[in-house]
Structure 1
């Protein structure tokens, strides 16, 4: 298994889909690392994120295929499939990160997270990586 400082190469694009297949994603670049965040929403959703800049992630779905959820400062919108309930991605809709996205790598093929390398992020308190 690759560690946080020693990522392996994964086949590109990285593809994934919600459980029913109504929402799919393709990521054209390998993220620096897979991120498990401990903030309240990420803990509740059970996600592991692969972050990408503008143009590196393509989401394919019918219009209104997802439920969009934002709270607090409303800088991020989390998208969940309306049919199967899988959280597929988030998008930054305001603030400095506007235009960035992340996909839920738990929906990618088995072994993807391990090949990239997993890091744990403290989104609950310190806003820094824990390793």
Structure 2
């Protein structure tokens, strides 16, 4: 599997994933819908994130959403608990050809 790279709009935050996603989640929670994100899930060891960003912990307090402080794009989320072996990158920030074959599902997300 080939690596895939993405970045926020201005390029200040960049990420590399070990492989292109095969499925993407269109989370239906208020936060994700307002941000317009589509999530591709990975284990943290499969993703490298570089650049300047900030984060926000919303409501349920187990997910830390990261965004670029320059252009505002939501780039990824990480688990607040370091033992949780899951994170996601915003698939909308990947090249279109990298996600063209991925299936998209909708989940209700936390309310």
Gap runs ≥5 in structure 1: 1-10, 126-131
The runs of 4+ residues in structure 1 deviating greater than 4 Å are: none
Tell me how far 1:37 sits from its aligned partner. 0.5
Q: Partner of 2:43 in structure 1? A: 53
Where 1:85 maps in the other structure, the secondary structure is coil
RMSD, aligned α-carbons: 1.9
Is 1:110 the counterpart of 2:96? The answer is yes
**More deviation in 86-95 or 13-22?**
86-95
Give a deviation string over 1:2-22, Cα, whole Å, max 9, x none: xxxxxxxxx621210000001
- Tell whether the 8 Å contact from 1:70 to 1:76 is kept in structure 2 after alignment: yes
Paired residues, what number? 111
More strand per residue = 2
Distance 2:108 2:80 in 1: 22
Tell me how far 1:118 sits from its aligned partner. 1.1
Gap runs ≥5 in structure 2: none
Give a deviation string over 1:53-109, Cα, whole Å, max 9, x none: 130111011xxx21210022311100110000111000011287x242100010111
Where 1:115 maps in the other structure, the secondary structure is coil
Q: Partner of 1:43 in structure 2? A: 33
Tell me how far 1:124 sits from its aligned partner. 4.8
Q: Partner of 1:8 in structure 2? A: none
- TM-score normalised over the length of structure 2: 0.89
Higher Rg: 1
